[in-house]
Amino acid sequence: MKPPTFLAAPLLGRGPIAPDRLGLFLFFLASLADGALMPFFALWAQHEAGIPTRYIGLLLACYAGGELLATPLLGGIADRIGRRPVLLCSTLGVGLGFVLLSQMHGVFAIALCLLAIGIFECALHPTVQTVIADVVPEDRLRMRFASARIASGAGHIAGPALGAALALLSLNTVFVGCGISLLVAALLVFCLLPETRPLEERSAHDDEEDEEGLSALFPAFRDRRLAMLLLWFVLLEIVDGWSAAVIPLYANGEHALSPSGVGLLFTYGAAVMALLQWPVTKWSERISSYPLVIASGMTLAAAFLLLLLPPVALTLYASVTLFSLAQVLFGPLVPVTVNALAPPKSRASYMAAVSTVNDLKDSAGPATGMLLYGMAATLPWLIGIPVAIGAAIGLATTIRRHERTASA
């Protein structure tokens, strides 16, 4: 499928910013909006939109659910119509959706708007990752994906501060600011980003008939290697997601931290991840994936073990440090491996599969963590230890098997 001419090339020609560097800035802007929005969504819904408290969680589920459901279907559409038009549509849709949301009232209207925002957002992250993989040599890809995580982490650190500043004007202004962040991203794509899909892939897709249904768009249903890799990855991500969902209640319920102290704890965790990602990835650049993934699983298990101790500020901060370190160790490895697994013409579809796992972490992680916490306060930590170790061994073995096959 050929995009319209005005979507095919950047307004300013090949600009001064390389596509992969522009991709890092797009990650920052998307995370900036997300970080600004989430702390104030419940307050906005209650005080500005007049939403009853019992519906606020449902609205957040609409936002996450729209992205989760749409990613398998649309997340890899950049393989068919190109990276540039998909990023333009995605950033424009999300940006305009946030601006529109600031003026909306009523549960049904807001739910529909959040679903639409999630659908537009589903292709954003996998397509930016695909742009990076298109232009960066394979031997530098791990470092570039680490840089993407740093950019995303910086956005999540700066986002709450931006949201707090905008909230001084009004809670509606927070949503307008989030929308402007994504509209700036759309402007950068329109002016500076060239199409990075290789010419031979474009010709192949122009000549091919559309493949059948869902399996053509979500390759995990066809590629057993990818499905096994993602199975272990999703287990690691879900147990890691228990920390963000359960620690606030656990720490506050045990009177270890105040609500503001919990906020500082997770700001610290995001800062640790952003600060450690580059030096740790640089240090481990020549180390094979197997020991790094095993180390990340052991680090996660140690973090859960610390949470079994009586909760005080010291053990909570030490645990969050280990959670951040585990993400630093295995975070860049999975997209690099998935990119190596992907056929050139299906790169965006494979990256969409990784994005789906991240969405599952944000939905299934809190849900399962809270379910276990409701049964017993320490149950998430007791179950997290063996699951983290087992999933890390499974993921490391799967990655090593692929690396051996690729080098044979």
Q: What is the pLDDT of residues 292-350, one digit of tens each?
A: 889 999 999 999 999 998 888 899 899 999 999 998 888 888 788 887 777 777 777 78
174 and 237 share one domain: no
Average pLDDT over residues 75-103: 89
Kindly give, in sequence order, each residue whose CB lies less than 8 Å from that of residue 205, ignoring residues fewer than 6 positions away.
Answer: 1, 79, 80, 345
256 and 139 co-located in one domain: no
CATH assignment at residue 351: 1.20.1250.20
Name which of 22-31, 127-136, 180-189, 247-256 the model is least confident about.
247-256
> Is position 204 within any domain?
no
Asked if residue 223 and residue 350 are part of one domain, the reply reads yes
Q: Is residue 10 part of a domain?
A: no
Residue-averaged pLDDT of the chain: 82
Q: Which has more pLDDT, 151 or 367? A: 151
Position with higher pLDDT, 112 vs 282:
112
Question: Mind listing the pLDDT tens digit for each residue in 196-205?
Answer: 887 665 555 5
133: CB partners within 8 A, 6+ apart: 141, 335, 339, 347, 351
Q: Does the pLDDT at position 61 exceed 90?
A: no
255 φψ region: left (φ > 0), alpha (ψ -120 to 50), beta (else): left
103 within domain boundaries: yes
318 shares its domain with 381 = yes
pLDDT band at 211 (very low <50, low <70, confident <90, very high): very low
Same domain, 149 and 230: no
Number of domains in the chain: 2
206 found inside a domain: no
Running DSSP on this structure, what letter comes out for residue 231? H
Question: 238 pLDDT exceeds 60?
Answer: yes
Residue 118 lies in a domain: yes
pLDDT computed for residue 201 by the predictor: 58
Whether 203 is covered by a domain: the verdict is no
Q: What domain range includes position 356?
A: 215-407
Q: Is there a single domain that holds both residue 29 and residue 126? A: yes
Return the pLDDT at 262.
72
**Assigned domain for 11 exists:** no
Instruction: Say if residue 152 is in the same domain as residue 101.
Output: yes
Residue 263 has pLDDT above 90, yes or no: no
Most confident of 47-51, 88-92, 215-219: 88-92
- Give the model's pLDDT for residue 348: 79
- Distance, in Å, from the CA atom of 386 to the CA atom of 382, rounded to the nearest integer, reads 8
Calpha distance 125→120 (Å, rounded): 11
Within a domain: residue 296? yes
Q: Domain ends where: 169, 196, 223?
A: 196
Dist. CA 29–CA 21, nearest whole Å: 13
